Every structure is written in C-alpha cells, then in structure tokens.
Structure 1
Amino acid sequence: MGLLVVTPAAPLSGLVASLWDCDLPRQAHAYDRILPSAAAQLVINLDEDETRVYDEHLRCTRNAGAAFDAPASRSVLIDTAEQVRVVGIVFHPGGAAPLFRERMDAIAETHLDLDALAPGQGRSLREGLLAAPNAHARLRLLEQWASERMQAACAARHPAVTHALRLLDAAPGVQRIDAVAACCGLSPRRFGALFREQVGLSPKRYARLQRFHAALAAARTDGRVDWAGIAADGGFHDQAHLVHEFRAFSGMTPTAWLARRGEWTRHVALA
C-alpha cells in the first residue's frame, strides 16, 4: 500500500508530467477540496467503477470509473470514500490537447468519461489495470497506453505554447501577455487563441493561477506564515489582493486553508 509516482520516459514525458498509483486506507473525513490546476488529469478508480465530484452545495457529478479532469481554475470537492485504489496520469499544461486531439478550452472546468475522448477505451483500460499484479505493472500498462495514443496522434504541443509556458512559469505573476506573444512570434490574438486551445485557460488566467500556486508553495512552512510578505514577493498588489485571488481559485480564505492543509499540496481535508 502507498503512493507510487513515476516520470514517464521520453518522448511521452514531453506531454505527461507523471503517472501515479495510490493504494491507501480510507480517510476519516468525508470530502477533500481539490485545488484547481491547469494540468489535466486522467483518474481511474479501481475500487469502484465510478468517479464523483461535488460543487460547493454538494451536488454530485458522476462519471465512469475512468474519467478525465479537464484544466480548471476553480476548486471542486471529491468523495474520499472512493479514493482508496486509484491510478492516474497528470499531463503537463497543454499536454492533453494533442494526445486526445481535443480543444481544452471547449471542456475546461469539466469532468468527462474517458470514453468521451477515447471511445471504447475507458472500460478496457480499467479492466487491464485491475488485472495487473502490482503498482509497477499498472503504471507500465498506463505508460504503454499513453505512449500508443501519442504515437497514433503524432501528438506534440505547439512550440509557441511550450515556449510561452516556460516564460510564464519562470516568473509566476501576471505578465504583459502581448510581450509573451511577441517572444513567441505571434500576434496577441493568435497567441491567445492557440494558448486557450491547448492549455484550456487564457494566458492571463493561467498566469494568475500559477501565481496562486506560488503563494501556496511559499506558505508551506512550519513557522508563522507572513502573508503580507508573500503578497509583496509574489506580485500581488497587497495582502487584500492575495486574499481575493485565494478565494477566487480555492473557495477558501488563506486562514482556512492554513488550518486544514495536509500532506498533499492540492488536497485540503474537509469534515
């Protein structure tokens, strides 16, 4: 039992950040809040043939056991009771669009059955994973499946999107998007459309989300958290601006997040 995370071999590593296998005891709390990410994820539940997400009013969206979490800039809740034997793929931002030949801006903020993107493959992939003898075998099978899809689609991120992501990630603040477009050799309009198509978020919203995650990383300390200092160092106008962005992306205040944060960066335990 435990969590196993591996980085795939090239060339799949150009689209996929990691493959993971989770086999853990049931949690004492009922729900986790999942903080938003521009990195799409494929999640396959091996304990139940279903995946569930909830909104702030605990209204449930049910998907098949193999489901795709599209890029998101809003948090959702998940049911911890079904998150005990799960495997998944975390894509780099912009990595899922070419592999599935799907516009990410058309499905952003949603959760879909894998069969909606890869018809007929959700059940067969899940059944193959259920038959695998251990975590390493499951991740080898998952990597083989993704590699075959990548080869069949001749999948690759657009070079301009790859360059833009590198620029935006190097300085996680809201940069002048027209300057980033110019560095990529594109007009602002063409750059924005291409970025949204592959990443699922506008360049500006992506930059804001990355700035939020940089603030989270800065706050993960054992000592007293200096929110004013994090706001100043992170490119926020002031601490009130940081709190506003925190609420917008996480649905929580920084203080509430601090009281409930746990071992996993994107998971916040709720009652």
Structure 2
Amino acid sequence: MGFQRIVPAPPLASVIEAVWDWDMPAGTLRYERILPGPGAGLIINLLEDETRVYQDDESRHCLRASGSVIGGPYRHSWIIDTAEQVRVMGVNFRPGGVHALIGISAEELGVRDINLQDMFGANARRLRQRLLETVCPMQRLALLEQWLCKLCDEPTWDAVILHAAATLARVQEVPGIGRLQRESGYSAHRFGLLFRHHIGMTAKQYARLMRFRAVVAMAHPAAQPDWVRIAVDGGYCDQAHMSHEFRRFAGITPSEFAGSRGPYPNHVPV
C-alpha cells in the first residue's frame, strides 16, 4: 500500500507530467476540494467502477461517471468523495499534452469528462482488467505507461502554441497576448482557435490560471503566507485583485486555503 509516482520515459515525458498509483485506506475526512490546474487528467478507479465528483457550490450536486475517465483542464475547483479514493491510478498531462498524445480537443475535455471506453472501447476495458489483476503497484504503473505509449508513437505538437503557453506560464514576465499572437504568425482568430483546441481555454484564461497556480505554489509551504508579497510575486496589481482571482478559481479565500490546507497543494480538506 502507498503512493507511487513516476515520470514516464520519452516520448511520453514531453506530454505527461506523471503517472501515479494510490493504494491507501480511506481518509478520515469524507470530502476534499481539488484545485484547478493547466493539464488534463486520466483517472482509473480500481476500487469501484465509478467516479463521483461534486460541484463546488451550495448544491454539492453529485456527478457520476465511469470508473475510467479523462477530463480537464478545468478553470474551477470541484469536490471529490474520498470514500472512493482508496485504489486509484491516474495520469497528469502537461498543458496541451492530451491533445498532442491522442488528438482530442482539450477544450472539449474541459467541459465534460469522457469515459475511456467511449474513446478506446475494448482496449480500455482490457487495460482496467489487467490493472485489477496486477498486485504490484510498480508493475501497474509499467502497464499503464506501456498502454499510453501504444496510443501514439510520437506526440504531435503545435510548436507555436506550445511556446505561447510556456511564455504565459512565466507569470512575472508575460508579454501582452496580442504580441504573442502577432509573433505566432497566425491571425487573431486562428491563434485563439488553436490555443483553445490544444490547451483547453483561451490564452487570457490560461494566463490567469497560471498566476493562480503560482500563488498556490508559494503559499502552500509557508507557515504564515505573506499575501502582500505573494500577490506582487504572482503578477497581481494588488492583494485585493489576487484574493478575488483566488476565490474565483479555488472556491475559497486565500485565508481559508491557508487554514485548511493539507499535505498536498492541490487537495484541500473540506
């Protein structure tokens, strides 16, 4: 039992940040808030053939899906049911990685999760069955990595869009989006279309999300976060602007995040 995480070998390493295996007893808290990130994710629930997420609002509406799904990136937080987070495997894609690997529109995945079997049919069913039959977590990770490798011999990137996304991720040195578009050689319409298709959101939305991610990265390890300094270092005009954006993405205020954060920056106990 435990948590195992690997970085896949090339060429997958260019599109996938990590492949992981979680095999742990159910937590004492029923729910966790998941903060949004810039990459898509693949989840395979090996405990139940179902995934459950809840809208991060007063309704807490439960959205049920297959036990093997791919989705994101998202621009908002959501709630997970920790009762099913006992035997789970997953893949964290790099920004643009899901489109580069399997050709699906990242913008479509940001709207709704897609059942892995709807995309890959019996191939996905066989994968889940083999993972269920494999006891060793490192062997499960190797199986999942091999399966991903077979999807595409060589990821297909749009180098211009990849460069634009990487530039926007440098939150303190971001040039105007209009300048990035002009330097790309694409028309404004074409640039916007390709960026949404590859990255899953507009360039402006992506820049805002990356500023939020920078704030989370700075605040999570700090015993007492200096929010004024973090706001400046995160590229915000002032603390009020940062707080407004933080709540918009996280569903909670910066102070609430600091008071309830757990060991993992993207998982906040509810």
Which TM-score applies when normalising by structure 2?
0.94
Any idea what SS the aligned residue of 2:229 has? helix
> Is the CA contact (8 Å cut-off) linking 1:43 and 1:66 kept in structure 2?
yes
Q: Secondary structure at the match of 2:169?
A: helix
Distance in 1 (CA, whole Å) between partners of 2:10 and 2:201 is 26
How far apart, in 1, do the equivalents of 2:184 and 2:134 lie? 44
Letter in structure 1 aligned against 2:113: H
Describe the superposition over 1:152-194 as per-residue Cα deviations: whole angstroms up to 9, x where unpaired: xx53221112211221223357641111223333333221111
**Do the aligned residues in 2 keep the contact of 1:174 with 1:208 (CA within 8 Å)?**
no
2:138 is aligned with 1:136? yes
For 1:42, the equivalent position in structure 2 comes to 42
One of 88, 92, 96 as aligned partner of 1:86: 88
Structure 1 position 233 matched with structure 2 position 252:
no
Instruction: Tell me the SS of whatever aligns to 2:152.
Output: helix
- Could you give the per-residue CA deviations for residues 66-97 of structure 1, whole angstroms, max 9, x where no partner exists? 11122100111000000011111111111111
The answer to whether the Cα contact below 8 Å between 2:23 and 2:87 also exists between their aligned partners in 1 is yes
Q: Distance in 2 between matches of 1:250 and 1:115?
A: 30
Alpha carbons of structure 1 residues 174 and 53: separation in structure 2 relative to 1, 3 Å: farther
Answer whether contact 1:7 1:17 (CA < 8 A) is retained: yes
Distance 1:221 1:247 in 2: 19
Q: How many angstroms does 1:253 deviate by?
A: 0.6
- 3-state DSSP class of the match of 2:53? strand
Q: Give the aligned partner of residue 76 of structure 1.
A: 78
Where 1:157 maps in the other structure, the secondary structure is coil
The correspondence of residues 131-170 of structure 1 with structure 2, limited to 5 A, is: 131-151=133-153, 154-170=154-170
- 2:15 aligned partner: 15
CA RMSD of aligned residues (A): 1.6
Deviates more, 1:122-131 or 1:2-11: 122-131
Report the alpha carbon displacement of residue 3 of structure 1 after superposing the two structures with TM. 1.0
CA contact (8 A) 1:68 1:111 kept: yes
Taking only the aligned residue pairs, the percentage that are identical comes to: 40
Is this contact kept in 2: 1:115–1:122, CA < 8 A? Answer: yes
Residue 101 (structure 1) shift: 2.0
Count how many residue pairs are aligned between Structure 1 and Structure 2: 268
8 Å CA contact 2:160–2:184 kept in 1: the answer is yes
- Tell me what 1:66 maps to: 68
Give the secondary structure class of the aligned counterpart of 1:21. Answer: strand
Letter of the 1:190 partner, please give it: R
Q: C-alpha offsets along residues 213-240 of structure 1, whole Å, 9 cap, x if unaligned?
A: 1011111234321111111222212111
Amino acid at match of 1:147: C
In the TM superposition, what is the alpha-carbon distance from 1:140 to its structure 2 partner? 0.6
Where has structure 1 moved over 6 Å in runs of 4 or more? none
The alpha-carbon distance between structure 1 residues 192 and 228, as it changes in their structure 2 partners (threshold 3 A), is: same
- Which segments of 5 or more consecutive residues in structure 2 lack a partner in the other structure? none
Q: Is the 8 A contact 1:177 1:203 kept in 2?
A: yes
Is the contact between residue 172 and residue 233 of structure 2 (CA under 8 Å) also seen in structure 1? no
Structure 2 Cα separation of the partners of residues 205 and 40 of structure 1 = 15
Partner of 1:259: 259
Aligned to 1:213: 213
- The 2-side partners of 1:266 and 1:11 are apart by 26
